[in-house]
Amino acid sequence: MIIVTVEDQKGRIQQLEIPEDIDLNLMETLKTFQYPMRATCGGMGLCADCHCRVIQGDNLLPEQLDQEIMTLEAVPESDYDSRLSCQIKVGRAISGLSIKLLGPAE
Amino acid sequence: MEKIVTDICIIGAGPVGLFAVFEAGLLKMRCHLVDVLPQVGGQLSEIYPQKPIYDIPGFPVINAQELVDGLMEQIKPFNPTFSLGQRVDELEKLEDGSFIVKTFEDTEVHSKVVVIAGGLGCFEPRKPAIENLEQFEGKGVSYMVRNPELYRDKKLVLAGGGDSALDWTIFLADIASEVTLVHRGDSFRGAPDSAEKVVELAQQGRINLVLQSNITAISGNGRLKNVLVVDKNREQQTIAADYLIPLFGLTPKLGPIADWGLNIDKSAIEVNTIDYSTNIEGVFAIGDINTYPGKLKLILCGFHEAALMAQSAFKFVYPDLKLSFKYTTVYGVNTF
């Protein structure tokens, strides 16, 4: 089981137990847990609807690729701990991650 | 004021709105399209023009912009007309059942049917979280450069790190008396040529480049006067500015459509899947903007919705005619 802690836009905190064979990115995974996720670009790292802040576990995440950096640079409220959840592949490596959702709640 | 009379007013010139012109055209209905973006294509042209799409029937792979170009070619025989760069504001239903769609830019479209193909809504500028920002909109703060001459010999602060911030910085450096570009990052990942040019301009002292910084406050007495910038070490500096232009791209918002009396569920318009009609007779909603049980936000689903919508719209445009369904393979595409 992969454990990810999520604080939503309204401040509600939930610990998700994600099956290891889920084979989705984090944005898609959050959708399966019924988080409202607009995801205009559908997961291409272009729209920043799935913008989140990493509260804990930055070291568990893959390096940002250029597309993610470029998109985040265009988001005024992004900061050094910002990530796009669609660019994070869910797997055992990210278990223990804690994030706060910042994108629009649909 | 510009007045346009047509059979169907389509709000949104994305792929589904464009294909609706084709389906309407086969039934001899003329269309006028209104879109807030300055170009057709909606999300495809605005967000991912070079990305491949794999689920358009008959095209194993097609680039988003190529699909838009193909749709424009496909609907050309039906002579659609466009109001681009205009945001719809009001919908008025007249006594005879027809509609007037008004835009902020003072265009009025009189039609028998309204089709909302607005995708995720109007693309609006993404605004930075500065407390009193809206108070200074039109009084020094703007989110796009409409008329560069407005900035001649003025002090400008631009914010952002994307291509648009880079390009306008370069362009306005020759016009304004002082240009400052504030960017959150320590480098630019936009077009390398533009990024290089901006750094060069800063080295020549022709612009001020403020990196690893954010704008946290603005102030002025009725008009913008100062911009407060804070860097990553929490050091503050105040920059005198006649204008602030935050350039952080666009993000979709449902906008005024939300106030038209349509049944809305989570920013989407509820429709009847028989013909994608809304709760207002004569108004249809197709593509990503509608919702119904089992809805999939796919371009191909939007195309299907457009076809069914057109069959029903016919009754409003030609109430005295009988509709007989025809295949294009048998009858071809008869234009008007």
Q: What are A34-57's pLDDT values in tens digits? A: 998 888 888 888 889 999 999 999
For A42, residues 6+ apart whose C-beta sits below 8 A from its C-beta are none
How much is the average pLDDT of A61-86?
Answer: 88
- Structure confidence at residue A106 (pLDDT): 66
Sorting pLDDT into bands at 50, 70 and 90, what band is B101?
very high
pLDDT at B333 over 70: yes
pLDDT at B309 over 90: yes
Cβ neighbours of B214 in A, within 8 Å:
76
B199: number of CA atoms within 13 Å, CB side?
A: 11
Of A12-21, B246-255, B310-319, the range with the lowest mean pLDDT is B246-255
Task: Using an 8 Å CB-CB cutoff, list residues of chain A that contact chain B.
Answer: 36, 38, 40-41, 44, 46-49, 66, 69-70, 73-80, 104, 106
- Structure confidence at residue B120 (pLDDT): 84
Of A65-79, B58-72, B74-88, B141-155, the range with the lowest mean pLDDT is A65-79
CB contact under 8 A, B246 and A76: yes
Of B144-153, B182-191, B318-327, the range with the lowest mean pLDDT is B182-191
**Of the partner residues A74, A79, A80, the one whose CB lies closest to the CB of residue B249:** A74
How much is the average pLDDT of B62-71?
Answer: 97
**Of the partner residues B128, B188, B190, the one whose CB lies closest to the CB of residue A76:** B128
Chain B interface, best mutation among A31, A40, A77, by max B CB count within 10 A: A40
- Structure confidence at residue A74 (pLDDT): 80
How much is the average pLDDT of A9-17?
Answer: 95
pLDDT at B336 over 80: no
CB contact under 8 A, B48 and A36: no
- Structure confidence at residue B110 (pLDDT): 98
User: What's the pLDDT tens digit per position in B19-65?
Assistant: 999 999 999 999 999 999 999 999 899 888 888 999 999 999 999 99
- Structure confidence at residue B146 (pLDDT): 80
If you average pLDDT over every residue of chain A, what do you get? 92
- Chain A residue closest in CA terms to B213: A79
- Structure confidence at residue B326 (pLDDT): 82
User: What's the pLDDT tens digit per position in B122-158?
Assistant: 888 889 989 899 999 999 999 988 889 999 999 999 9
Q: Which percentage of chain B shows pLDDT scores above 90?
A: 80
CB contact under 8 A, A40 and B127: no
Give the global pTM: 0.80
Compute CA distances B152 → B12, B173, B205, B209, whole Å: 35, 10, 18, 19
Q: Which percentage of chain B shows pLDDT scores above 70?
A: 100
- Chain B residue closest in CA terms to A40: B120
- Structure confidence at residue A104 (pLDDT): 83
Q: How far is B49 from chain A (nearest CA, A)?
A: 11
Sorting pLDDT into bands at 50, 70 and 90, what band is B71?
very high
CB contact under 8 A, B128 and A106: no
Structure-block tokens of residue B224: 């913008």
Cβ neighbours of A74 in B, within 8 Å:
126, 160-162, 248-249
CB contact under 8 A, B126 and A74: yes
